[in-house]
Amino acid sequence: MNIVNPRQNRVVILGGGVIGMCSAYYALRRGFQVTVIEREAAGGDNCSMGNAGMIVPSHFIPLAAPGMISKGLRWMFNPESPFYVRPRVNLDLARWGWLFYRSSTAKHVEETRELLRDLNLESRRLFAELSDEEDFGLEKRGMLMLCKTAKGLDEEAEVAKAAREIGLEAEVLDAGGAAEIDPDITMDVAGAVYFPQDCHLDPARFMASIRKRVAALGGEIVSGVEVDGFETKSGKVTALKAGARKFEGDEFIVAGGSWTPGLLEKAGICLPLQAGKGYSLTLPNPPELPGVCSIFVEAKVAITPMGRSLRFAGTMEVGGLDLSINPSRVRGIVKSVHAYFPKFSETDFEGVKPWAGLRPVSPDGIPYLGRAPKLANLTVASGHAMMGLSLGPVTGSLVVDLLANERPFRSITQMAVERFA
């Protein structure tokens, strides 16, 4: 590992979520001077805070996969379904939809599954390394894909078979086998697939930990700042403009989540990306507390124990930069719970305030990571969709490999920023 000369390598990172903070941490570890600029107030409730907190080597199939278009069309007419695209006249949305359609092929899954496997496994290793230094609630207990129906179990068994083909651990279980993995929760399921390499944590604890590390290493975090644009010269960014303020640097990283396309547009760069809104509800005193995180397969709801509380998260609502709460989508999550966990009822969720966050979704389900076109010192790290938390550390480490001109642990050409140009 090369340690750079910090006096000649000032890095400005736009975005204070998990991707931006992990990039800041690894940059500081490599000797860069770092300033992080975030839209929210200090420690704000961004998309990195209220998610399901899962680290998912099991998620090696990209969002753009065969069958997603037909499923999406069926779900469009159900206000409580896991997926919804708000109809609106928008050229960026139309282009994103066309690219998503083109990417939803078996060939695309075949070509990208090892990339997603490698990224998640390396990120898991880095989480474990970080956890050894300071505890933030990392639990290495695996994850259960809970199937209500025999049909759902058959489909997940095919995913398990594909996982084993690429060297991941996966076990198909009947209902009794699932209960043995997690005896602390009463389930009503046909069976499950167990992915022992998956992990979970409390994302708020992790974000507090990584922010503290950034500050301890001398990183500057500037909160509550809206960036107006970029100053450029000779094919490079020289500064970020925010009202009367300027943030000068040698390297610039845009890790703005769902706001990334708008930020890049100020630099004349078009990035196909849509915001996918997700919701979560956290029960402080659940009737039962599982020891393993899980996903309701048919309902597309994720469940994560976090200390004594239990979080339920789900839905993908594509509707722009809108954080308003859609009660129908929340109701869909709540109504699914009793079917899988019969000791729970809808009344358990009374008075629980739903949280909403915007996930940045690329058209092919693969994150963007690499140098931006046109501007040699601008790096983009976005488009992680539901895997932002899971891929936080590995993305931060790879960003710094790019800054230091070092070879990454594996090729990331499939994540190129200009791949849809």
Q: CA torsion angle for 92, 95, 100, 101 (degrees, to 10)?
A: 150
* Topology classification of domain 60-108+138-198+273-361: D-Amino Acid Oxidase; Chain A, domain 2 (3.30.9)
pLDDT digits (tens, 9 = 90+) for 380-390: 999 999 999 99
Q: What is the mean pLDDT of residues 15-25?
A: 97
Give the residue from 122, 374, 250, 372 showing the smallest Cα distance to 382: 372
Token digits of residue 383: 């488009």
Q: Residue 251 forms beta bridges with which residues?
A: 11
Residue 69 predicted with pLDDT over 90: no
Look at residue 44 in the predicted model and tell me its pLDDT: 64
Token digits of residue 119: 């990224």
Domain residue extents for the chain: 6-48+205-270+365-415, 60-108+138-198+273-361
Q: What is the mean pLDDT of residues 398-419?
A: 97
228, 241 contact by CB (below 8 A):
yes
Residue 64 predicted with pLDDT over 50: yes
Residue 102 predicted with pLDDT over 70: yes
Residue 330 predicted with pLDDT over 60: yes
Instruction: Identify the band that residue 243 occupies on the pLDDT scale cut at 50, 70 and 90.
Output: confident
Residue 7 predicted with pLDDT over 50: no
What is the pTM (predicted TM-score) of this model?
0.95
Provide the CATH number for the domain formed by 6-48+205-270+365-415 in this structure. 3.50.50.60
Q: How far is CA 161 from CA 154, 156, 157, 184, in A?
A: 11, 9, 6, 28
Distance of alpha carbon 14 from alpha carbon 16, whole angstroms: 7
Residue 173 predicted with pLDDT over 70: yes
Look at residue 6 in the predicted model and tell me its pLDDT: 46
Look at residue 8 in the predicted model and tell me its pLDDT: 56
pLDDT digits (tens, 9 = 90+) for 158-167: 999 999 999 9
